[in-house]
Chains A and B, each alone.
Chain A
Amino acid sequence: MINDTLTLAERALVRLPRNPDMLLAFTVQPIMFVLLFAFVFGGAIETPGYGDYIDFLIPGMIVQQICFGGFATALGLAEDMTKGLIDRFRSLPTARASVLAGRTLADVATNLLSVAILLATGLVIGFRFDAGVPEILAGLGLLLLFGYAFSWIFALIGMSVSSPEAANGVGFTLIFPITFISSAFVPVASMPAGLEQVAEANPVSVVVDAIRALWLGGEMGNSLWLSVVWCFVLIAVFAPLAVRKYRMSASA
């Protein structure tokens, strides 16, 4: 099982840089988003309690990027379904869960790359940590865990749609609102009532708040342990659903 998962994770990672769209999505695109938000919206958004918008923005931007990190899983699985690779894997004496586990594990590595790129960009334009090494590493760990949880949502999407194009559509329409109706880019207090409550309850906000508290020394409140609980809840819900879908598509 472990060997199969590693083999398939390696395969996902080897092929990633050979797909120009994907490579752009994980490297240039996040940099572009940071620069656009920092310099286009930055001046207009008030972030009381934070040094400046860039400090506020970087954790939010990283969490947003992490939420999309699993896209490779959804697209990859949908592609494997249409190209017959899933049948090939199933016909091999390969542990059945390893096809999904390999994909989601590969996402952890690409997420790490995205975080590194975003942090480097942030540091260049003025982001500064106000934290010790343990807090920084704890934040990183939380980010990867959260990304892993989202990968299982994408795994379910990838197994549920009929083509990579559909995976793309479903993924975007689902994940975009989730990341935007949150504290990632603006303080939730600035949102209209109703939306504000939704944004506050959103796990993306919870994680963003926890990262800000860890990295910028703000008020932690419940956000850290709530974030971890959210991650495990998402995995506990979506991993079995994705695996079930994988099993079912075998008999469809």
Chain B
Amino acid sequence: MRFEEPAISAQGLVKSFGDVRALDGVDLEAAPGTVLGVLGPNGAGKTTSVRVLTTLLEPDGGQARVAGLDVVKDAPRLRSRIGLAGQYAAVDENLTGIENLTMVGRLYGNKRAVAKRRAAELLERFSLSDAGSRPAKTYSGGMRRRLDLAAALVASPPVLFLDEPTTGLDPRSRIELWTAIEELVGEGTTVLLTTQYLEEADRLADRIAVIDHGHVIAEGTADELKARVGGLRVEVTLTHGAAAFAAMTALESMSDEPVRVDGPLVSVQVDERAGAIMEAARRLSQAGVGAEDIAVRRPTLDDVFLSLTGHATVEDQDVPELVEVAA
């Protein structure tokens, strides 16, 4: 097997802002042509990591290499090998789509004609050709995001950084953006993508690094992580909280994992979506337990955090204590 240098590698990155230790020894690695998902709640250090890796911020400690170059020592050369789409769509709202992309192309050092041609190509690719001559302030959120992504791709960079690319988008725009990212990866681009959504990391990322308080607390494929979290759950909202014990007894043999009870919410892990709701409903009605609602829920970032750290993503005091009841 040929040894290949990772497209992105970081060891022990540290960065403080005053008293806040935003990065407290972050290690990351992505092989060329793969997607690394950096998953974490607000304030975990995702944006700070991206800013260090894209040369915007010098780390206080640790080191990182991207596309074979050191992010501090080789910063000027590295900038022509990376693309960045930040957490907020960084487009000039008073410029049209084509003007935005042409400007970026010229800042990469291209001649005006070359920059314009590339701009037109990218607009076409992101279905923005029709809107290309309108000021970006007339664009929808999804269109802005696509324009922002296009701007990050002007120089066809081998390594791309996307900071929460779909936060705030409607479901349709989110799926459009996912498809666009998948196409890029298909062409061999290495992508580091931060997100607060497990579902997004699951769909796009080859490997996922879970980050909290400036630390990577878990790393692995989506399957590995989900195995630790525990897959799909059937969640029942009881009509009367008092029936929790009866519900627990009725549901416990559906899974090897313990049933969780949290007030009127009772949940149990299942392997498959199909039939799970019917099965739970049948068991509950046999036991004479009334349910307001029964649903299958995918594991969320909260579940990941709960199982990895024992605390939820938000401040602990805001979250009702979740009781695990052993069968």
Using a CB–CB cutoff of 8 Å, the interface residues on chain A facing chain B are: 3-4, 7-8, 11, 14-15, 18-19, 83-85, 87-94, 250-252
Among A18, A85, A87, A94: residue with most chain B CB under 10 A = A87
Q: Which of A8, A14, A15, A93 contacts B79 (CB 8 A)?
A: A93
Complex Cα spacing A91 to B89, Å: 14
Inter-chain contact B94/A19, CB cutoff 8 Å: yes
Within 8 A of A (CB), among B73-131: 76-77, 79-80, 82-84, 86-95, 99, 103-104, 106-109
Inter-chain contact B90/A87, CB cutoff 8 Å: yes
Residues on A with C-beta less than 8 A from B57 are: 250-251
Among A8, A11, A19, A93: residue with most chain B CB under 10 A = A93
Complex Cα spacing A251 to B104, Å: 23
Q: A3-B106, A250-B56 are in contact. Are A15 and B17 (CB under 8 A)?
A: no
Inter-chain contact A15/B95, CB cutoff 8 Å: yes
Q: How far, in Å, is B128 (CB) from chain A's closest CB?
A: 17
Residues on B with C-beta less than 8 A from A84 are: 86-90
* New contact pairs (7) apart from A7-B106, A8-B103, CB-CB < 8 Å: A4-B106, A7-B103, A83-B88, A83-B92, A84-B89, A92-B107, A93-B109
| Minimal Cβ-Cβ distance residue in B for A6 | B106
| Minimal Cβ-Cβ distance residue in B for A18 | B94
Among B79, B88, B92, B104: residue with most chain A CB under 10 A = B92
Q: Which of B55, B84, B135 contacts A88 (CB 8 A)?
A: B84
Among A14, A85, A87, A92: residue with most chain B CB under 10 A = A92
The 8 residue pairs across chains A and B that have the minimum distance between CB atoms: A15-B94, A84-B90, A88-B90, A93-B79, A91-B84, A93-B80, A7-B106, A18-B94
Q: How far, in Å, is B302 (CB) from chain A's closest CB?
A: 28
Residues on A with C-beta less than 8 A from B80 are: 93
Flag whether B51 is at the interface (Cβ < 8 A): yes
Q: A15-B92, A87-B90 are in contact. Are A7 and B107 (CB under 8 A)?
A: yes
Complex Cα spacing A250 to B57, Å: 6
Chain B positions 270 through 294: 1 when the CB is less than 8 Å from some CB of chain A, otherwise 0: 0000000000000000000000000
Inter-chain contact A11/B103, CB cutoff 8 Å: yes
Q: Which of B87, B89, B107 contacts A94 (CB 8 A)?
A: B107
Main secondary structure of the interface of B (DSSP, over half): loop
Q: How far, in Å, is B4 (CB) from chain A's closest CB?
A: 25
Inter-chain contact B108/A92, CB cutoff 8 Å: yes
Q: How far, in Å, is A75 (CB) from chain B's closest CB?
A: 12
Inter-chain contact A93/B90, CB cutoff 8 Å: no
Complex Cα spacing A7 to B112, Å: 10
Flag whether B151 is at the interface (Cβ < 8 A): yes
Inter-chain contact B108/A93, CB cutoff 8 Å: yes
Inter-chain contact B109/A3, CB cutoff 8 Å: yes
Residues on B with C-beta less than 8 A from A85 are: 90-92
Residues on A with C-beta less than 8 A from B54 are: 91
Q: How far, in Å, is A15 (CB) from chain B's closest CB?
A: 4
Q: How far, in Å, is B25 (CB) from chain A's closest CB?
A: 19
Inter-chain contact A11/B95, CB cutoff 8 Å: yes
Complex Cα spacing A96 to B84, Å: 17
Q: A87-B51, A87-B56, A87-B84 are in contact. Are A92 and B79 (CB under 8 A)?
A: yes
Flag whether B262 is at the interface (Cβ < 8 A): no
Residues on A with C-beta less than 8 A from B202 are: none
Q: Which of A7, A8, A14, A83 contacts B90 (CB 8 A)?
A: A83
Flag whether B182 is at the interface (Cβ < 8 A): no
Q: A84-B86, A250-B56 are in contact. Are A93 and B95 (CB under 8 A)?
A: no
Among B80, B86, B90: residue with most chain A CB under 10 A = B90
| Minimal Cβ-Cβ distance residue in A for B137 | A18
Flag whether B58 is at the interface (Cβ < 8 A): yes
Inter-chain contact B151/A251, CB cutoff 8 Å: no
Q: How far, in Å, is A26 (CB) from chain B's closest CB?
A: 15
Inter-chain contact B17/A252, CB cutoff 8 Å: yes
Q: A11-B92, A11-B95, A18-B135 are in contact. Are A88 and B106 (CB under 8 A)?
A: no
Within 8 A of A (CB), among B243-297: none
Residues on B with C-beta less than 8 A from A14 are: 94-95, 99
Q: How far, in Å, is A110 (CB) from chain B's closest CB?
A: 14
A selection of 17 A-B contacts at a CB cut-off of 8 Å is A3-B109, A4-B107, A8-B103, A11-B92, A84-B86, A84-B90, A85-B92, A87-B86, A88-B84, A88-B151, A89-B107, A90-B56, A91-B82, A91-B84, A93-B79, A93-B107, A250-B57
Q: Which of A8, A88, A94 contacts B86 (CB 8 A)?
A: A88
Chain B positions 43 through 63: 1 when the CB is less than 8 Å from some CB of chain A, otherwise 0: 000000001001111100000
| Minimal Cβ-Cβ distance residue in A for B135 | A18
Chain B positions 126 through 147: 1 when the CB is less than 8 Å from some CB of chain A, otherwise 0: 0000000001000000000000
Complex Cα spacing A83 to B88, Å: 7
Residues on A with C-beta less than 8 A from B108 are: 92-93
Q: How far, in Å, is B97 (CB) from chain A's closest CB?
A: 13
